[in-house]
Amino acid sequence: MLWEQHCCLPLTRQADLGQLDRYRRPGGSYVSVNAGYAPSHGHDFVTDLLADWRPRIEADDRFRLVGDLDDLDSAQITVGFDLENSAPLEGDLNRVREFYDLGVRTMLPAYNNRNAAGGGCLDAVDDGLTAYGRDLIRELNAVGMVADGSHCGARTALDISDVTTKPMIYSHSCMRSLWDHPRNITDEQARACAATGGVVGITGIGIFLGPNDASLDAFVRHIDYAVELVGPEHVGLSSDFSFDADEVNAEVAANPELFPDWFTRWGPITFTPPEGLLAVEGALRSRGYPEDAITAILGGNFRRVAAACWA
């Protein structure tokens, strides 16, 4: 199966959920759709959005709402959700269970900048997880939601690796040794993630792959590096594709506090579309990757993490 660990629909009730059909493949697909990232995306914002999306997904024969692991053994496209910020909890850790029951399967503590849980990748100083942030990771473990280090500061992300008792992930991050962008992760972070049994999801955003280079070659170059560093059993795919790319670029330009020069200096951000993600299989095969490694990278590794974490 194909496992797309993070993509972005417009965060509105008017979102065209049918676009997710672009991830279809014969072995089935799992697609995690973002349901909130900005500090302003609070509890009510996320629950209202999912109250619209969930019944529309359920009513569409092409899709299946995520439940348990058995839902993944389907030729359909199984749809789950992720939160790129712990802000929707609004300080109430009991809401981790509430969001899990709504289909949210991964959460990261902080989006780019420090909040009550920990530091972001754009902070000048990252003091790591707070006491609340440590409690958050423990609650994620207890409920079955996967802890995610993408967008977090390096110290905060390494703290996740130390605190978690279950595999963690970097849902959508590239390798800083290949391209020095603050959103990318260090070799130390990747190794610590792998030590938990986790997975680094290489992402298809041009500004994280190189100087706004969203080519297949750039994508696979980061996969190659991660595989060499931590092994094919700890690498996956996560395009971070935005189905409303023009609107996203406009939002990035309008919010320099969230998206500074590191995001805008190369012009409008380029993205790897679902079709580009599907092309990774052939690219890996042409490079001589064995079939078991290709199967693991395409989806088997993230499925293993789900089996270890989901309730």
Mean pLDDT of 85-98: 98
Q: pLDDT category, 77, cuts 50, 70, 90?
A: very high
Please tell me the predicted confidence (pLDDT) of residue 198: 98
User: Angle 293-231-111 (CA atoms, 0-180°, nearest 5)?
Assistant: 105
pLDDT at 27: 87
- Assess whether pLDDT exceeds 90 at residue 220: yes
pLDDT one-digit tens code per residue, 160-169: 999 999 999 9
pLDDT-derived band of residue 74, with 50, 70 and 90 as boundaries?
A: confident
Percent residues over pLDDT 70 in the chain: 100
List, in sequence order, every residue forming a beta bridge with 231; answer none if it has no partner. Answer: none
**pLDDT of 71:** 86
Residue 7 has pLDDT above 90, yes or no: yes
Question: What is residue 257's predicted lDDT score, i.e. its pLDDT?
Answer: 81
Using CA atoms, how far apart are residues 154 and 121, in angstroms rounded to an integer? 7
Residue 34: give its domain's CATH number. 3.20.20.140
The mean pLDDT of 138-162, rounded to a whole number, is: 98
- Global pTM value: 0.96
Q: How far apart (Å, rounded) are the C-alpha atoms in residues 58 and 30?
A: 15
pLDDT category of residue 73 using cuts at 50, 70 and 90: confident
Total count of domains within the chain: 1
Answer positive or negative: Cα dihedral of 126, 132, 134, 137: negative
The mean pLDDT of 41-45, rounded to a whole number, is: 97
- DSSP per residue over the chain, as a string? -EEEEEEB--SSTT--GGGGGGG--TT-EEEEEE---STT--HHHHHHHHHHHHHHHHT-TTEEE--SGGGGSSSSEEEEEEES-SGGGTT-TTHHHHHHHTTEEEE-S-SSS--SS--BTT-SS-----HHHHHHHHHHHHHTPEEB-TTB-HHHHHHHHHH-SS--EESS--BTTTS--TTSB-HHHHHHHHHTT-EEEE--BHHHHSSS---HHHHHHHHHHHHHHH-GGGEEE----BTTHHHHHHHHHH-TTTS-HHHHTTSSPPB--HHHHHTHHHHHHHTT--HHHHHIIIIIHHHHHHHHH--
Taking the C-alpha atoms of residue 189 and residue 74, their distance in angstroms, rounded to an integer, is: 33
What average pLDDT does the chain have?
96
> In this predicted structure, what is the pLDDT of residue 240?
97
Which residue range is the domain that position 182 belongs to?
2-309
Contact 164, 137 (CB under 8 A): yes
User: What average pLDDT does this structure show over 238-263?
Assistant: 91
pLDDT digits (tens, 9 = 90+) for 255-270: 888 888 989 999 999 9
